Amino acid sequence: MVTPFTAAGELDLAAAERLTDHLASNGMGVFVLGTTGEASSMRQEQRRQVVDLAVRVSAGRSLVYAGIGDNCVSSSLAAARDYLALGASGVVAHLPSYYLLGDGEMYSYFKYLADGIGRSLVIYNMPQTTRMSLSMDVLQRLAELPAITGLKDSENAPGRVEQTASLFCGRPDFSVFMGVALLSTQALRLGFDGLVPSSGNIVPALWHRLFLASQSGNWSEVEELQRHADAIAQVFQRGRTLGQSLGALKACLGTLGLCESHMLPPLQGPDEATRAAVTASLAPLLSALPR
């Protein structure tokens, strides 16, 4: 989930409520404080406020996952305990991103978190921001820890989807989520349990429908909906860095009246030309969605 802000850099609580309800009302889980949510730029009290709001507004309609990634492990542990006490269904952690770590250090880091949290920890593999990849060997060892209950994998490397599926899909005690929206159909065919698409902020009903179609084996519908989702994602992603795409994503949400496009430093909000281009590109795609 995107985190809405005011021009002064404070949380836009009304917009956050609208966006949470937009997701929960359309069959989506709510994952706050991830990459799309600008968690690394937020003060801790803002992060806590977002989790509390998401749990309250979703009101049991959706599971709520909350990111706890931080370069300080004690801060991650404190956040995890707090968010779970607030009612989050699970917490999500990526690797710290300052020091380059070896496999042994990666394993020890997540084991330390798992031992300290005790339950409902999802691993988040995100090389685009951490500059490190969790190997299959490390993930296999971590998946044996009872407190670690799943993996969100956002690495688009040749053969990785197939390898992940062969090792982890079908386990009743471990869920696997695809974080690369372009690979959603492939991942679902291979048995992934869920998806984490940033364009779900814009069209949650489309993604919910896509998932249900996969569960019923209607792969022609899945592929059609994937094409629509890919076209929408290109509106805010094409030709932009990850940070720039998040500002353009907020501009898309602005066209739906969900939030403004203010960003926290070091990211910058989109300029007027970008907002105009996004509006012009998005409208016909939304009109063309299958009914």
Provide the 8-state DSSP code for 8: T
- Residue 291's pLDDT band (boundaries 50, 70, 90)? confident
pTM, entire model: 0.95
Q: Each residue of 11-62: pLDDT tens digit?
A: 999 999 999 999 999 999 999 999 999 999 999 999 999 999 999 999 999 9
Sign of CA dihedral 67, 210, 21, 262: positive
Provide the 8-state DSSP code for 157: -
What's the rounded mean pLDDT across residues 257-278?
Answer: 96
Dist CA 69 CA 78 (whole Å):
11
Q: State percent of the chain over pLDDT 90.
A: 100
For 81-148, give the DSSP string: HHHHHHT-SEEEEPPPSSS---HHHHHHHHHHHHHHH-S-EEEEE-HHHHS----HHHHHHHTTSTTE
Q: State percent of the chain over pLDDT 70.
A: 100
* pLDDT of 264 over the 90 cut: yes
What's the rounded mean pLDDT across residues 174-198?
Answer: 98
Q: Each residue of 90-138: pLDDT tens digit?
A: 999 999 999 999 999 999 999 999 999 999 999 999 999 999 999 999 9
Mean pLDDT of the chain: 97
SS (H, E, C) 221-240: HHHHHHHHHHHHHHHHHCCC
What's the rounded mean pLDDT across residues 254-274?
Answer: 97
- Please, are residues 204 and 23 in contact by the beta-carbon 8 Å criterion? yes
Question: What pLDDT sits at residue 282?
Answer: 98
Buried b (16+ CB within 10 A) or exposed e, 126-145: bbebbebbbeeebbebbbeb
For 32-96, give the DSSP string: ESSTTTTGGGS-HHHHHHHHHHHHHHHTTSS-EEEE---SSHHHHHHHHHHHHHHT-SEEEEPPP
Torsion of CA 267, 37, 81, 21, to 10 degrees: 150
